[in-house]
Amino acid sequence: MGVRLAQRPSARKRNPSFGFRGRMIFRTTKLSGACVIEVEPRGDERGHFARTFCEREFEEHGLPIRFPQCNLSFNKRSGTLRGMHYQAAPLREAKVVRCTRGAIYDVIVDLRADSPTRFEWVGVELTEDNATALYIPEGFAHGFVTLKDATEVFYHMSDFHRPEGARGARWNDPRFDIRWPFPAGGPSVIAERDATYPDFDPEQFDG
């Protein structure tokens, strides 16, 4: 059987949904420092190829370029909620979160005492199809709910995780007023630790 070589599409035949510069797109959010990172795939008949990290591009946008630890979260069922998690000072960490299988509604809350958007939140749908990532600066709480069964979430971490700094706030803390995409009764699956977190305590955040 002969092998058919994949041809790069001519300019006339290129799929307009595919970028051909290969650079990432950094979109700011209403929360200072937090941004959505979109990819620009290069496509042909094999599929597509996209850059998801570049030291130079991250540095140009003021993002960290050192990520000494990566984590993978697997979630069996749709409606699984994890959060809201944060690290107390001085053990705060930034992260880049991407959904590699399935879909999530990813939520961040600005906890920084000197921020004009303190206690405001942003939610972004991350899916295996859109390949979008969310950059979360230090000083934020983070959580997500899965929108599909068998969902995987991949994290780049700016520092080694230190469990002694791990803290959390209630996913439905009225101070945050997060509008989660599930019925009023709450998530389908949640760990006891996450379900029993108290409302946000600034003293816990400051270490």
> For residues 174 and 145, is the Cβ–Cβ distance under 8 A?
no
Tell me which amino acid residue 161 is. H
Beta strand 121-127 with 151-157 is unpaired
Q: Which residues are catalytic?
A: 85, 155
User: pLDDT tens digit string along 173-200?
Assistant: 999 999 999 987 899 999 999 999 999 9
Question: pTM, whole model, 2 decimals?
Answer: 0.86
Question: 140, 125, 127, 102: which is closest to 181 by C-alpha?
Answer: 125
**pLDDT mean over 3-28:** 56
Domain chopping of the chain, boundaries: 68-205
pLDDT in tens, 107-166: 999 999 999 999 999 999 999 999 999 999 999 999 999 999 999 999 999 999 999 999
Region 68-205: CATH code: 2.60.120.10
Q: Give me the mean pLDDT over the 41-63 stretch.
A: 91
Six-digit token pair at 132?
Answer: 């979008």
Asked if pLDDT for residue 5 goes beyond 50, the answer is no
Binned at pLDDT 50, 70 and 90, residue 21 comes out as: low
How long, in residues, is the chain? 207
Q: Is the pLDDT of residue 63 over 80?
A: yes
Neighbouring CB atoms inside 10 A of 85's CB total 16
Share of the chain residues as helix, strand and coil, in percent rounded to the nearest 5: 10, 35, 55
Tell how strand 189-190 and strand 80-87 pair up: parallel
Per-position DSSP letters for 141-161, written without gaps between them: EEEEEESSSSEEEEEEESS--
CA dist 77 and 72 (Å) reads 16
165: left (phi over 0), alpha (psi -120 to 50) or beta: alpha
Give how far Cα 165 sits from Cα of 37, 124, 155, 168, 173, Å: 27, 26, 18, 10, 20
Separation between Cα atoms, residue 22 and residue 42, nearest integer Å = 7
- Please, are residues 128 and 99 in contact by the beta-carbon 8 Å criterion? yes
**Which residues are 155's β-sheet partners?**
71, 97
Q: Are 160 and 107 in contact (CB under 8 A)?
A: no
Return the pLDDT at 1: 43
